[in-house]
Amino acid sequence: MNLSFLPPDMNWTCEPCGEKLQPGIVELQYVGSVFKVELPVCPKCGKALISEDLAIGRMLEVELLLEDK
Amino acid sequence: MEQKDLREWEARCIQEEPPACRAGCPLGLDAKGFVLAVRDDNLPGARAILEKSMPLAGLVARMCEAPCEQYCLRQSLGGSVAIGLLERMCINAVPAKTKFLRLPPRPKKVAVIGAGPSSLTVAFDLAKKGHPVTLFHLPGGPGSWLCKVPELVLSEGVLEEELQRLAGLGVNFCQVSVLGEALWTQDEFAAFYIGQDDEYVEGDLLKLGVPDSITFSLETERLFTGGLSVENHKYRFITDVSQGREAAVSIDRFLQGASLTAARVDLRHGKTNLYTSLDGLQREEVVVPADGLGYTKQEAIKEAARCINCECLECVKRCVYLKEFGAYPKTYARRVYNNSAIVKGNHQANKFINSCSLCGQCETVCPNDFSVATLCLDARRTMVQEDRMPGSAHWFALEEMRSARTEGALIRHAPGKDFSTSLFYPGCQLAGIRPQQTLRLYGYLQELDPATGLWLDCCGAPGHWAGRVQEFDEIMKELEEKWHEMGEPLVLTGCSTCLQMFREHLPQINVESVWVLLAEKPPESAKACAPMALSDPCTSRHDSKTQNAVRAMMEKIGQSLTPLPMSGELTECCGFGGLMQNSNPDLAKKVTAARVTQTSSDILTYCAMCRDQLARTGKPVAHVLDILFQDVAHPASEASPSISERRKNRRQLKSQVLSKYHGEQPKATEDWEAIALTMSPEVAEILEERRILEDDIRKVLFHVQQQGKVFVHGESGRKIASARLGQVTFWLQYTETDGSFMVESCWSHRMIIAGGSA
């Protein structure tokens, strides 16, 4: 499974860090499961961007899957 | 659910009980399946069904007197389906299977004495099971009285062919000059069947005595008998075949040293627990064969189409939800059981369990009172208890409940009073959906009795429906305490669900529907509209008092009502009940759509939630309050308020009550409430669909203002912000101009971002 969820448009800057978001590894948790995925991340503070497409697509799918486990 | 409970649940659903025709067949033939296969022009399939139950199908299908027909439910509506004629057509049209599966040979030999229909049956059944069979017959050849049947009914070739099938199964034919006692005293055989449907030495059969009526065993060990029908018996042939079959079962058990009686299924003689409704069924006459003898294929298909396909499905045919999951309660009970029993793998019935509206229509229409609602509610409670209830299933409704119980809640005596003779309890949905009408109604109740207090709260139904026993019990306790503190007055509810919750869970509280009171004294401002169909809320199903009161009130006002088929005790859920709309919004839409198509009239209801839900289809739906108070009436075609408006309405209603009746300044609003938002109707729709409140957006923006953390796009300058509010992380894309926020999109997820690094 491809665990990289970088949006086509990476032209985002974290404020007030002033850093451009970079591909980074982020840990996501849900109902006892933990996975590492690649997302746009602020290199300074580590805050990650969850895009709309990801949230209403693959992420929702996995949430529902895990809830039924 | 324990396995014992599952058995009890399964036993309640009668859908798998045999139809009357099958129950009336001494061989247990799936007559309905056979007839339907003929109807569908699947003659090979139809023959296969015959072969499955009949011994020597070529013979039995042609000779059977079809006792099944006397039980056919079509009988009173044009005559029983001519199953016998259909069998003959089928057996003539489709050639026999050439090969039969025979079980591996067994050691003990069986003697079948006589060669009438019962003996041929025993020989066939035991040979198939692998027993070595020797059939003793008279010099005329096997068949006994069958050899004398007219050629038109049974041609010689047929009997010959069937005897060859027996030979193919290894049956050894042995011709003897006489049939008598000497044959059943031979040592080489382990068991004997004496088929009395043949010619015997006079007096020998009398020595046998009377066989057991179930097992057909005789007092002398090893001896079994059958073929006892008298010559002019209406069902002589099939009765003898049936006796042969029962004896063959006994002989097989005897040879294996097993009990002859244990777990033996008695013949049903047409008795079945299957319920089949004949409502709306038209009379159709039996198809008469043109040649007076037998059906052509086309005639047979036409006759088979008269079969009413007996089945119950009383609940399924009315319930969109039960239809949606493709089965019936017996199967559903097993799915629910398996869902709780599995240790690893997916809980595949979660969706089913959480989609039920708990409306109770199934229990009302079921001849056996099967309540899918109870099945699902019990399962939900277990899931919550075992901490495996999907977090998203009921989340939004529970948040709504908690909000209504805090920021929307208020309990007060009437202004200037230190007691209440009654407390008006509109319910959180009426307060959220129709706040001005709620206030107007409260004003009118005060006119009727100035000591009417007001109680804004949620009855806890979402907690109950979600299976959250502990939370719900706590709510009940709190409500009871508040009622005590108010001097234990009569509670007048504006919502059928609240009324149901109070009655079922707080029976000590004296509670009544406000519509019962208003039926006595409707306001003078009440004015009839065009005729409408009255939709009873599902939580009023067993509350005929309120249902009748609303009808009486409408009659007094002169409001005519058009019929709605599923009303009163049979009424249907609007799609919100049981939190269906939360767990399965797509299904809820189907349920709502199905409900509104039951009438071409506009709909009238006395449940705010039903109004809101049914109106989402675009169907004009009025609330009773629109008729009672013309000055605050809403048009029936008005769109339902959004989830954000409902929240705001509850808060505003509370503020209005405090300022209007109690001269109190409402509590200062939260800091985030002042944030100004704008958005297009499309974005507003997205919010609604994703169950994101404007409040949530304001909280995210407020969070941003506090924390200062935001992503900014390099070219457009638009921003993305997020905040974790409870169990959900909300994201917002927006632009900011002069302190006003233009929302471009909003999304959320439940996953937790534990940390990241570039």
pLDDT, mean of residues B24-40: 97
Q: How many CA atoms lie within 13 A of B642 on its CB side?
A: 18
DSSP assignments along B380-410, one per residue: HHHHHHTT-S-TTTSHHHHHHHHHHTTTT-E
pLDDT, mean of residues B350-357: 97
Its domain, for residue A24, covers: 13-67
Task: Note the pLDDT of residue B738.
Answer: 84
User: How close is the nearest chain B Cα to the Cα of A1, in Å?
Assistant: 18
Q: Are residues B125 and B248 in the same domain?
A: yes
**Taking CA B558 as the corner, what is the angle to CA B552 and CA B560, rounded to the nearest 5 degrees?**
85
pLDDT in tens, B549-568: 999 999 999 999 999 999 99
Residues near B49 by Cβ (< 8 Å), separated by ≥ 6? Answer: B29, B30, B33, B34, B37
The rounded Cα B729 to chain-centroid distance in angstroms is: 37
Task: Note the pLDDT of residue B749.
Answer: 97
Q: In this complex, do B745 and A52 lie within 8 Å of one another by their Cβ atoms? A: yes
Q: In this complex, do A46 and B756 lie within 8 Å of one another by their Cβ atoms? A: yes
Number of folded domains that form chain B = 5
Q: Are residues B71 and B128 in the same domain?
A: no
What was the ipTM of the complex prediction? 0.97
Task: Give one word for B487, left, alpha or beta, with left for phi > 0 and alpha for psi -120 to 50.
Answer: left
Q: In this complex, do A48 and B756 lie within 8 Å of one another by their Cβ atoms? A: yes
pLDDT in tens, B41-65: 999 999 999 999 999 999 999 999 9
Residue B98 has pLDDT above 70, yes or no: no
pLDDT, mean of residues B504-529: 96
DSSP assignments along B46-85, one per residue: HHHHHHHH-TTHHHHHHH---GGGGG-GGGGGT----HHH
- Please give the Cα distance from B727 to B264 (Å, whole number): 57
B363 domain residue, yes or no: yes
Q: How many CB pairs under 8 A join A and B?
A: 112
Check if the beta carbon of residue B137 is closer than 8 Å to that of residue B173: yes
Task: Please report which confidence band the pLDDT of residue B667 belongs to, taking 50, 70 and 90 as the band edges.
Answer: confident
Chain A contact residues (CB < 8 Å to B):
9, 11-16, 20-31, 34, 39, 41-43, 45-50, 52, 55-56, 59-60, 62-65, 67-69
Average pLDDT of chain B is: 95
A8 domain residue, yes or no: no
B688 domain residue, yes or no: yes
pLDDT in tens, B632-643: 999 999 999 999
Q: Are residues B490 and B632 in the same domain?
A: yes
DSSP A12: E
A41 domain residue, yes or no: yes
Q: In this complex, do A16 and B709 lie within 8 Å of one another by their Cβ atoms? A: yes
Nearest to B579 by CA among B409, B373, B417: B373
User: How close is the nearest chain B Cα to the Cα of A4, in Å?
Assistant: 13
Check if the beta carbon of residue B163 is closer than 8 Å to that of residue B142: yes
Q: Which of B333, B355, B390 is the last residue of a domain?
A: B390
Phi, psi of B159 (to 5 degrees): -60, -40
Q: What percent of chain B has pLDDT over 90?
A: 91
A62 domain residue, yes or no: yes
Check if the beta carbon of residue B12 is closer than 8 Å to that of residue B370: yes
Residue A1 has pLDDT above 50, yes or no: no
- Please give the Cα distance from B137 to B116 (Å, whole number): 9
Residue B621 has pLDDT above 90, yes or no: yes
- Please give the Cα distance from B213 to B614 (Å, whole number): 61
Q: What percent of chain A has pLDDT over 70?
A: 97
User: How close is the nearest chain B Cα to the Cα of A62, in Å?
Assistant: 9
Q: Are residues B612 and B695 in the same domain?
A: no
Q: What percent of chain B has pLDDT over 70?
A: 99
A4 domain residue, yes or no: no
Q: In this complex, do B749 and A47 lie within 8 Å of one another by their Cβ atoms? A: no
Q: Which residues of B touch A13 (CB under 8 A)?
A: 711-714
Residue B575 has pLDDT above 90, yes or no: yes
Q: Which residues of A touch B720 (CB under 8 A)?
A: 12, 49
pLDDT, mean of residues A49-58: 95
Q: What is the SS3 assignment for B94? A: coil
Chain B contact residues (CB < 8 Å to A):
345-348, 350-351, 390-393, 690, 708-715, 720, 722, 729, 731, 733, 745, 747-758
B623 domain residue, yes or no: yes
Q: In this complex, do B711 and A49 lie within 8 Å of one another by their Cβ atoms? A: yes
Q: Are residues B529 and B402 in the same domain?
A: yes
Q: Are residues B505 and B531 in the same domain?
A: yes
Q: Which residues of A touch B392 (CB under 8 A)?
A: 63-64, 67
Task: Note the pLDDT of residue B266.
Answer: 85
- Please give the Cα distance from B112 to B118 (Å, whole number): 10
B195 domain residue, yes or no: yes
Chain A interface, best mutation among B348, B352, B683, B751, by max A CB count within 10 A? B751
Residue with tokens 């939630």: B609
Helix, strand and coil content of chain B, in percent to the nearest 5, comes to 45, 15, 40
Q: Are residues B357 and B297 in the same domain?
A: no
Report the CATH number at residue A20.
3.10.20
Chain B interface, best mutation among A17, A31, A53, by max B CB count within 10 A? A31
Q: In this complex, do B756 and A27 lie within 8 Å of one another by their Cβ atoms? A: yes
Q: Are residues B4 and B89 in the same domain?
A: no
Q: Are residues B328 and B371 in the same domain?
A: yes
Task: Note the pLDDT of residue B756.
Answer: 57
A1 domain residue, yes or no: no
pLDDT in tens, B726-757: 999 999 999 998 888 999 999 999 999 986 55
pLDDT, mean of residues B666-680: 87
pLDDT in tens, B591-601: 999 999 999 99
Q: Are residues B379 and B422 in the same domain?
A: no
Report the CATH number at residue B169.
3.50.50.60
Minimum-distance CB partner of A50 among B393, B708, B731 = B731
- Please give the Cα distance from B382 to B1 (Å, whole number): 8
Check if the beta carbon of residue B633 is closer than 8 Å to that of residue B609: no
User: How close is the nearest chain A Cα to the Cα of B727, in Å?
Assistant: 11
Q: Are residues B483 and B627 in the same domain?
A: yes
A6 domain residue, yes or no: no
Report the CATH number at residue B696.
3.30.2310
Residue B349 has pLDDT above 90, yes or no: yes
B717 domain residue, yes or no: yes
B7 domain residue, yes or no: yes
Furthest C-alpha separation in chain B = 117
pLDDT, mean of residues B10-14: 96
pLDDT in tens, B269-308: 999 999 999 999 999 999 999 999 999 999 999 999 999 9
Q: Are residues B238 and B172 in the same domain?
A: yes
- Please give the Cα distance from B128 to B705 (Å, whole number): 85
Nearest to B386 by CA among B328, B499, B479, B467: B467
- Please give the Cα distance from B746 to A52 (Å, whole number): 8
Its domain, for residue B127, covers: 110-253
- Please give the Cα distance from B329 to A42 (Å, whole number): 53
Number of folded domains that form chain A = 1
User: How close is the nearest chain A Cα to the Cα of B340, in Å?
Assistant: 11
B413-417, long-range: CB < 8 A, 24+ apart: B413/B451, B413/B453, B413/B486, B414/B446, B414/B450, B414/B451, B414/B452, B414/B453, B414/B454, B414/B661, B415/B661, B415/B662, B415/B663, B417/B450, B417/B451, B417/B453
Residue A59: what residue type?
M
